Structure 1
């Protein structure tokens, strides 16, 4: 009998030793403290009331306690901003962590992305040209900020920020048949969407002139449509070259100093870069001319990860606002990131 009892104890001990490595100890779960949630409800409500409406809606989705506080401040709106800008801000903050969503400024809703929609192949225009929409700026900035994305989003980011090149047809009125090349180089610097655009004109049958260069537009405050297709009115007027400042090849930052004045001066001062900027939007530009080639370069800042109501986007696309900045700062910021 003693032998049977000893054998039984041995079997039980052996089974325990075999199963010991398979057993998992329960994790030591210690509740994470949140300092702000330890404040009394009166203080939390005072803090929430100082937030904008879309901020109150967003913080109300973080936990039950903030949800109760937000409900007390927004009972009538039923968690819906009362302005278009407020709804865009709310949806933009919601989409910040959603790589497959973008905010539509037309219907003010979230839509799924289409990886075939890029500035070089926009789904919102019938013409094959570079057309920058706010969706492209929005997604490029978001993908640049996010980490550990799926491969399809990484590939989409590469196509969104890829350089664009196109050879343009000669001007119909140009008997010299000047060759023209249009290039765009997007870049994200310090969380801002910068765009470097270059027009190159090459001599063909005869010399290059302002007439043979034809139509060109650098921002909405000059003649013709901008890169986004927004129609603008003629604003740049001619000035006497004798009244222009010629310090280091720079043109005075005056609204009358249009691109045509810079081009005219560049033809007079060959191999000298003539620089200027727009006083209404974030645009720096320069012109360099020689007997065989003319290069027009433009640097623009389309702003950070914001809605279409942002100051930079509104000034560059809709001409609704004015942006004041230091002359040449956009070009300097773009070149420093190389």
Structure 2
């Protein structure tokens, strides 16, 4: 929207959405992944090109392989992890655990990936995921992962409508037998993950502890992560609604240089404003300009999508941004200095 400063934020994380195909078809998947989305996978050459350019950004320390389901093409995943490791990058995988049908299979997969450099493993589970992947599989994967001394995080779908909880995971017989009160348990983090609706006909309730904290200042995700998604687009944010915001898609990896795309991304005033104050706070200011009420969203990414997909709001920002520009840019410089220092 407004292009007026040079790239100063140093991103710390890269992500590769290897495919939109998945063994599950969760009702509220942010990317609408499903088993039917065949032909959506990235090639090794595209991923390699992205990793080569990412490795030239000294602040990027880790690359996350996700999807869809990144384990669907296990040989490709293994090859990419090995290459990223050779470039000096740490690696993380995010999976639903469909491949961990028993401990023997899970141990074989985890040992293979650890041997080529995998550093961390993440799993997703909960009511929706368990319609397609039993939680036992996720436990098998978790056990095999920590046996390889990999830090392992399990995100559990959470809102007031969900019955399966993070405590249920930790009270599962497999967790109690293999992980509870053992030296390996310190490698496991089980955490609630806010599960939100992307459809108007499915409205969830959220108690206060699961809601977006209205006092949270800024959104570091706007500039902290750079992603390559399954269609070959470079995306300047890995947020839940990134595929619903055209402005976050910076261009095709095959047609542009990564550093140039990021420089343009970071010179957009609205993105700077969101980075500094967060999308809800930006929307509150814009709502004052247009005399509208701010709707409630349980997750900050929905405020961002609401901003970018409301022509009235975008027009108001164009017409009024000069009233806040000096203050926002001043705080952006201060915040970027602190942000970069933390990453060093």
Give the TM-score band, short-chain normalised.
under 0.3
- Of structures 1 and 2, the one scoring higher in RCO (CA 8 A, sep 6+) is 2
Q: TM-score, normalised by structure 2?
A: 0.21
Q: Which has the higher helix share?
A: 2
Bigger Cα Rg: 1
